């Protein structure tokens, strides 16, 4: 007999806000194809610590793939078609990443999401990301799809005011968070990653955020 409560397909999506959905484990089965796709991307556009507009080195290391990449320096934040480190275009968005992001967005109610930028963040234990809004993209009607790999993190999901008390959301390996609509400009951040060793990725957390930037 089939138990009605037996969860054959993994944990159910969680609606965290009007237009924010957590898809637990959505990317787990794609871990190896994703890592295989990221390896050449990171060879062409290696991790780097960008400068904040205040001139300080960011704790999170980052890279990009896609037609546009997010860059930060003393002049500010912006999207650029070229990697400032190499002067070359960013590596292309791997098809596996594009397909996964579109599938996750559709699952969360955003049909036809076609990202043109993927920001890749690398966290060592002890590294976090302070509260911020993602507002450098041209079109806020498009969602952001965020894929977490490796060590778990506590995501701070705030409101539209910096002072709004954030919800704390656990993001584990393979989880995908999709948000858009009226939640698109919420403040958010990441608590410092706790020390640990992930069985596949070791002592790191990698987060991929796919956006329609241009
Ligand atoms: C991170 N994520 O999870 C950082 N931004 O490492 C973000 O800053 C983020 O997850 C916009 C939308 C989803 C995100
Ligand atoms: Fe963000």
Question: Mind listing the pLDDT tens digit for each residue in 108-129?
Answer: 999 999 999 999 999 999 999 9
Q: With a 6 A CB cut-off, is 20 part of the ligand 1 pocket?
A: no
pLDDT of residue 11: 86
Share of the chain above pLDDT 90, in %: 94
Let me know if residue 110 belongs to a domain: yes
Q: Is residue 4's pLDDT more than 60?
A: no
137: domain CATH number is 2.60.120.590
Mean per-residue pLDDT, 61-69: 98
The response to whether residue 45 sits with its C-beta less than 6 Å from ligand 1 reads no
Q: Quick: pLDDT tens for 151-202.
A: 999 999 999 999 999 999 999 999 999 999 999 999 999 999 999 999 999 9
H runs (alpha helix) in the chain: 31-44, 95-107
Q: Which residues have C-beta within 8 Å of that of residue 56, sequence separation ≥ 6?
A: none
How close is the Cα of 95 to the center of ligand 2, in Å?
23
The Cα 206–Cα 39 span in angstroms is 13
Residue 2, in any domain of the structure: no
Q: Are 60 and 123 in contact (CB under 8 A)?
A: yes
4, part of any domain = no
Q: How far apart are CA 168 and CA 9, in angstroms?
A: 25
Ligand nearest to the CA of 180: 1
Terminal-to-terminal C-alpha distance of the chain: 52
Q: CA 32, CA 191: separation in Å to the nearest integer?
A: 26
Ligand 2: centre distance to CA 134 (Å): 5
pLDDT(3) > 70: no
- Specify whether the CB–CB gap between 176 and 26 falls below 8 A: yes
Average pLDDT over residues 31-59: 97
Q: Is the CB of 101 under 6 A from ligand 1?
A: no
**Confidence label for 24 from pLDDT (cuts 50, 70 and 90):** very high
How many angstroms is it from 6 CA to the middle of ligand 1? 32
The pLDDT, as a whole number, for residue 33 is: 98
Tell me if 8 is assigned to some domain.
no
Select from 207, 210, 213 the residue to mutate for testing ligand 1; criterion: most ligand atoms less than 8 Å from CB.
Answer: 207
Q: Sorting pLDDT into bands at 50, 70 and 90, what band is 7?
A: low
User: Is 82 among the domain residues?
Assistant: yes
**Using a 6 Å cutoff on CB, does residue 142 contact ligand 1?**
no
**What is residue 116's predicted lDDT score, i.e. its pLDDT?**
98
DSSP state of 57: B
With respect to residue 9, please indicate whether it lies within any of the assigned structural domains. Answer: no
Nearest-angstrom CA–CA distance, 63 and 68: 11
The residue segments making up the domain with residue 59 are: 14-211
Distance (angstroms) between ligand 1 centre and the Cα of 70 equals 13
Residue 5 lies in a domain: no
Does 6 have pLDDT greater than 80?
A: no
Q: How many domains does the chain have?
A: 1
pTM: 0.95
| Mean pLDDT confidence for 56-72 | 97
Q: What is the pLDDT of residue 55?
A: 94
* pLDDT for 196: 98
In a domain, 102, yes or no: yes
């Amino acid at each position: 007999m089939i138990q009605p409560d037996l969860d054959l397909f993994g944990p159910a999506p969680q609606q965290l806000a009007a237009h924010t959905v957590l898809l637990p484990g959505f990317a787990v089965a794609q871990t190896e194809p994703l890592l295989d796709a990221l390896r050449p991307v990171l060879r062409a556009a290696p991790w780097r610590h960008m400068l904040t507009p205040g001139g300080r080195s960011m704790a999170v290391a980052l890279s990009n793939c896609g037609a546009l990449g997010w860059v930060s320096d003393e002049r500010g934040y912006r999207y650029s078609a070229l990697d400032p480190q190499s002067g070359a275009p960013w590596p292309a968005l791997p098809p596996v990443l594009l397909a996964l992001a579109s599938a996750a967005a559709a699952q969360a109610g955003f049909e036809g999401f076609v990202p043109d930028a993927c920001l890749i963040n690398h966290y060592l234990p002890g590294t976090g990301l302070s509260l911020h809004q993602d507002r450098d993209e041209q079109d806020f009607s498009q969602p952001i799809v965020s894929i977490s790999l490796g060590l778990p993190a506590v995501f701070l999901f705030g409101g539209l005011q910096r002072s709004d008390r954030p919800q704390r959301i656990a993001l584990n390996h393979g989880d995908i968070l999709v948000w858009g609509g009226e939640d698109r400009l919420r403040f958010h951040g990441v608590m410092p990653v706790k020390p640990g060793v992930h069985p596949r990725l070791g002592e790191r957390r990698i987060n991929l955020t796919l956006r329609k930037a241009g």
